[in-house]
Structure 1
Amino acid sequence: MHPLVLQSDFGLDDGAVSAMVGVAVAVDPGLRIHDLTHNIPPYDIWEGSYRLAQVISYWPAGTVFVSVVDPGVGSDRLSVVARTRTGHLVVTPDNGTLTHLHSIFGIEQLRQIDETMNRREGSEESYTFHGRDIYAYTGARLASGAISFGQVGPEVPLADLVSLPLVQPEATGGAVHGTIDTLDVRYGSLWTSIPRELFRELGVGHGGRVTVRVSHHDAVVHAAQMTYARSFADVEVGESLLYVNSLDRMAVAINRGHYARAFSLGTGTSWRVRLEPAP
Structure 2
Amino acid sequence: MSSLLIFQSDFGIADGAVSAMYGVAYSVCRDLKICDLTHEIPQYNIWEASYRLIQTVNYWPEGSVFVSVVDPGVGSTRRSIAARTINGQYIITPDNGTLTHIKRMLGIREAREIDEETNRLPNSGESYTFHGRDIYAYTGARLAAGIISFEDIGPLVDVDSIVELPVSEPVKEGDTITGTIDILDVRFGSLWTNISRDLFKTLDVPYGGRVEITIMNDTREVYRNIIRYVKSFADVYIGEPLVYVNSLDYIAVAINQGSFSKAYNVSSGTNWKITIKKAQL
Q: How far does the alpha carbon of each residue in 1:151-192 deviate from its partner, in whole angstroms, 9 at most, with x for none?
A: 110111123211100011232221222110100101100001
TM-score, L = length of structure 1: 0.98
Runs of 4+ in structure 1 deviating by more than 3 angstroms, as ranges, are none
Counterpart-to-counterpart distance in 2, 1:172 and 1:4: 44
Structure 1 residue aligned with 2:164: 163
Of residues 262-271 and 183-192 in structure 1, the stretch that sits farther from structure 2 once superposed is 262-271
Q: CA RMSD in A?
A: 0.9
Q: Equivalent residues in 2 for 1:46-65 (5 A)?
A: 46-65=47-66
Q: 1:6 corresponds to which letter in structure 2?
A: F
C-alpha distance in 1 between matches for 2:239 and 2:153: 52
Secondary structure of the structure 2 residue equivalent to 1:271: strand
Task: Indicate the residue corresponding to 2:270 in structure 1.
Answer: 269
Q: Decide whether the 8 Å contact of 1:170 with 1:198 is kept in 2.
A: no
User: Could you say which residue in structure 2 is the equivalent of 1:19?
Assistant: 20
Partner residue, 2:149: 148
TM-fit CA distance, 1:12:
0.5
- Structure 1: unaligned runs, 5 residues or longer: none
Any residues of structure 2 matched to 1:86-235 within 5 Å, and which? 86-235=87-236
Q: Deviations over 1:44-80 (max 9, x none)?
A: 1011000000011110111000000001101111111
Structure 1 CA distance for aligned equivalents of residues 20 and 273 of structure 2: 40
Amino acid at match of 1:98: L
- Stretches of structure 2 lacking an aligned partner (at least 5 in a row): none
CA drift at 1:221? 2.5
Q: Which amino acid aligns with 1:216?
A: N
Find the aligned partners of 1:170 and 1:62 in 2 and give their Cα distance.
Answer: 36
**2: CA distance between counterparts of 1:206 and 1:196?**
13
Normalised by the size of structure 2, how large is the TM-score? 0.97
Structure 1 window deviating more from structure 2 (168-177 vs 125-134): it is 168-177
Give the whole-Å Cα distance in 1 for the aligned partners of 2:212 and 2:20: 49
Deviations 1:20-58 (CA, angstroms, capped at 9, x unpaired) = 001001111100000000000111101100000001111
Distance in structure 2 (CA, Å) of the matches to 1:274 and 1:90: 34
